[in-house]
Amino acid sequence: MQPQTSEVECVLPLRPQDEVACQRCEVHCDKVVYPSACLERACPFVYSYEDHGHTYIGCMQKVYDVELDVDLLRAAERRRGGFGAVRATHRPLPMCRVEVEACYATRGDELGCVNPEFYELPLGEPNFRIFAELKAS
């Protein structure tokens, strides 16, 4: 069962860059990955199989958990907008093309994201931020 927002807010995000969804403010953000990039980047974790005359691909790491018809994927890629993204179900890897998509971006409050590390991609770890406070002398 999906936890209620009030329950989630109490949980300290120790490794937010590893999470695939966040509900810590008024919106709901999901990480999404672009399966077309798996082929473009020749990711070694792509698997494929044939069934009833169609070729399907998937991700061995289960970054996304659907299997896609390659012909339909390529046909969609030829159209404007392309195939698009699918929801990540496991932590994306550095070779994935990943973005954060807010389901209700217009409902965000004026403080903005309270979990900015969620947006950081898993390129190298551990991950940290440096803040500089500049004061006029």
- Report the run of H or E that residue 5 belongs to, with start and end: helix 5-9
Work out which of 8, 70, 76, 113 binds ligand SF4, going by CB under 6 A. 113
Tokens of 40: 């473009």
Count of residues interacting with ligand SF4 (CB under 6 A): 26
Q: Which stretch binds ligand SF4 (CB under 6 A): 40-48, 68-76, 77-85, 127-135?
A: 40-48
- Cα–Cα distance, 25 to 83 (Å, whole number): 29
Binding mask 62-101 for ligand SF4 (x = CB under 6 A): -xx----------------------------x-xx-----
Buried b (16+ CB within 10 A) or exposed e, 15-26: ebbebbbbbbbe
Work out which of 20, 38, 68, 73 binds ligand SF4, going by CB under 6 A. 38
Instruction: Say whether residue 118 binds ligand SF4 (CB under 6 A).
Output: yes
Mapped onto helix, strand or coil, the DSSP state of residue 4 is coil
Mapped onto helix, strand or coil, the DSSP state of residue 56 is strand
DSSP state of 36: H
Residues that bind ligand SF4 (CB under 6 A): 22-25, 27-29, 33, 38, 41, 43, 45-46, 59, 61, 63-64, 93, 95-96, 102, 108, 113-115, 118
